[in-house]
Chain A
């Protein structure tokens, strides 16, 4: 193996007084997968954005092929064969998958008619990676997981020799993540340098050759995969020993049904919900499992009263909370944690204090001042009520939204991927708060793609496939992953196992 393709030489990045990355020294080699592991805000993304040219280093420098990097920005980085798959995708939602791929591909011919053989290579990667995605569908109609696959295809299309993945599996189903691991492995075997920014140990054990651990802006350790036990990697990352525990909510003593979905039907472009009926009792946590893009986001929007229903009803404590007409709006009484908090749950140019009090502000009343308590209880960093929400990292925004929605007792809670993009400590905290709502008497709907978590904690699991609830299973300890996997995909159990 030749010398490293990329070398960080004491690279430091400051934003004002904050040191995001502190004298990082690291080399990246061709043909291997380097995992950059760390909690939210440890500086992983910033480190790689220095290489990608978004944030040039404040001090120190970066060598590419032994020469000082002249990368001035993302376009430059792409020309130098560096590609990055971001947590927040850079796609045109109104355009088709095909157009998005062609727009990002330097070799796109002038004429992009369907019969032009010149465009085939741009679509080939996607066909290999995700054959189920139709290139003619608009990106806006794809699920988050599918959008990520499109993003990945875009990067692979620029014939990158250095590929950076920023938290790639945080939105994928286990099966999709498994696929991605295989793909990442293959990229490295083909001679590329692959950098995997992640806080998931599963990603690291699945495909990394070397592991760089970051904590508070510094690279605290670099070791070959398997050289150190996982527990010591975790303690390096956290600075303290944290075991992955998930305390399930208490079982329900007496079933008092509180939240009802009665034959809910709704339509959105590319998705239709058909006759969904669910009854959630006081104190119950109902998990909703399903492969990404099977109607989860539409179902969430319907329950939260954002998307109008075509028939049926959603009833909480005897009151209808469904939206029937686009022209009328209603404030949902549910605690609602939508997916992608930056887009769906916060006002970026308002302060944290105001974002915590959006309900009151939208009702025309004044804000109450419990912000500091909530911010520290939900571990929002930095806990400054006067700071603009837009300046927070994705994980901290997720915590901010959890603080707003779970901070006060509610009779119903709807949580969509509430732990997406969070580190282990924060995941545990959010689950605790979510289950505490149930124990205090809320009916909780919990949409998740993490089947293990669902099976550990949900009272019942409903499986959503192609806009329909195909089964509701009691989670009494007898459920098997294979059985649920079969229901999720519509395959028979033996096919899944094979």
Chain B
């Protein structure tokens, strides 16, 4: 890391620290105690670490899902919708064949979820490739569709008759629960996410297609001159991103909730989008950033329970983090240029 990048990181962290101190002070809480609580609730004991990783997993997967099309210069905000689409497809697989043994059911469920997410990402990809329709808008509006589709399913045909009005499917059989570390909520999804991150890093930096994607992202016309098909890569990258978000969806349903119900995601899709952009779509940078944000999300949840801060604090803290992380480096660059004059 260069010296200026280090300074930028340090100043960003300091600015964020000052902002959260001010925030807690405004809430009328002792700021330094609250900040140290925040750290303790994020990584202080096994339970906290388990919670942090449980939040990190969907954020990491959604960030990778946004980074994949981002590498081609596309701005997809559709991870949230793809997550729900994956949850639907994966749940469908479980409802279809609940009696399969775990060795078959888990892969079947994951594959279905990936396909569901991919299909959901493929649609805006095709619209962009064939009809030049802006993928940011289509992914944004399609988010609402799959979220509401989950509602329609769990209030309707997939509703568990034994749940007495609670809108949810039946609980998954034990064979359809992703394996996790005993006594924690750290599940197979996290391992998959890290494997995906490493795989994507290799694909985008060393793979035989890495340069094709860079050419198309840099200058589509030049890519086409040398026979590259922009439309193909748009559909491919949108589908791949969708598949990864789909895994995030089924992982939440299977490992965390145990059944499909509304609100399986706490805005992971958009959080992941911001993580991806903060990390400049670099998979190996996304991993630690997602962990940091996951920790913040988990800790502010705990803070809300134990320190009686308002429920919206978690979102406000996230907002402060992203705002500082985006604003401070920009401001510092401006100031450096200014001094250079």
Contact = CB atoms under 8 A, between A and B. Distances in A.
Interface of A: 56, 304-306, 327-332, 336, 338, 343-350, 354, 358-359, 361-364
Given A327-B231, A361-B212, A348 B219 contact: yes
Contacts of A345: 222, 225
B278 interface: no
Contacts of B130: 327
Contacts of A344: 219, 221-222
Q: Which among B212, B222, B223, B229 has the highest number of chain A CB atoms within 10 Å? A: B222
Contacts of A330: 227
A348 B226 CA distance: 16
Interface string B217-260: 01101111111111100000000000000000000000000000
B214 A362 contact: no
Contacts of B341: 56
A332 B219 contact: no
B215 interface: yes
Nearest to A367: B211
A305 B223 CA distance: 12
A354 B213 CA distance: 13
Nearest to A342: B219
B226 A359 contact: yes
B28 interface: no
B219 A331 contact: no
Given A56-B341, A343-B221, A349-B218, A364 B209 contact: yes
B218 A336 contact: no
A410 to B, nearest CB: 14
21 contacts: A304-B225, A327-B130, A327-B231, A329-B229, A329-B230, A331-B226, A331-B227, A336-B225, A344-B219, A344-B221, A345-B222, A346-B219, A349-B214, A350-B214, A361-B211, A361-B212, A362-B211, A362-B212, A362-B227, A363-B226, A364-B209
A338 B225 CA distance: 10
A328 B129 CA distance: 12
A474 to B, nearest CB: 32
Interface of chain A, main secondary structure: loop
Nearest to B218: A347
B208 A364 contact: yes
Q: Which among A304, A328, A338, A350 has the highest number of chain B CB atoms within 10 Å? A: A350
Given A332-B225, A358-B222, A362-B211, 16 more contacts: A306-B224, A327-B130, A329-B227, A329-B229, A330-B227, A331-B226, A343-B219, A343-B221, A344-B219, A344-B221, A346-B219, A347-B215, A347-B222, A350-B214, A359-B226, A364-B208
Nearest to A334: B225
Contacts of B225: 304-306, 331-332, 336, 338, 345
A358 B341 CA distance: 38
A336 B222 CA distance: 11
B228 A350 contact: no
Given A344-B221, A346-B222, A364 B215 contact: no
Contacts of A332: 225-227
B226 A347 contact: no
Given A329-B229, A364-B208, A350 B224 contact: no
A361 to B, nearest CB: 4
Nearest to A359: B226
Contacts of B231: 327
Q: Which among B130, B208, B209 has the highest number of chain A CB atoms within 10 Å? A: B208
Contact of A348 (B211, B218, B228): B218
A178 B75 CA distance: 46
B218 A350 contact: yes
Contact of A358 (B208, B209, B226): B226
Contacts of A358: 215, 222, 226
A329 B214 contact: no
Nearest to A355: B222
B229 A328 contact: yes
Nearest to B208: A364
Nearest to A349: B218
Contacts of B211: 354, 361-362, 364
Interface in B190-225: 208-209, 211-212, 214-215, 218-219, 221-225
Nearest to B220: A347
A331 B224 CA distance: 7
B310 to A, nearest CB: 44
A60 to B, nearest CB: 13
Interface string B122-142: 000000001000000000000
Contacts of A328: 229
Interface string B47-80: 0000000000000000000000000000000000
A22 to B, nearest CB: 19
A59 B324 CA distance: 35
A223 B228 CA distance: 53
A177 B226 CA distance: 34
Contact of B214 (A304, A347, A359): A347
Nearest to A338: B225
Given A347-B215, A350-B215, A362 B228 contact: yes
Contacts of A361: 211-212, 215
A373 to B, nearest CB: 21
Q: Which 10 A-B pairs have the closest CB atoms?
A: A331-B227, A347-B218, A362-B226, A361-B211, A364-B208, A329-B229, A347-B219, A331-B226, A329-B224, A362-B228
A349 B214 CA distance: 9
A455 to B, nearest CB: 30
A329 B228 contact: yes
Contacts of A364: 208-209, 211-212
Nearest to A341: B222
Contacts of A304: 225
A116 B212 CA distance: 50
Contacts of A331: 225-227
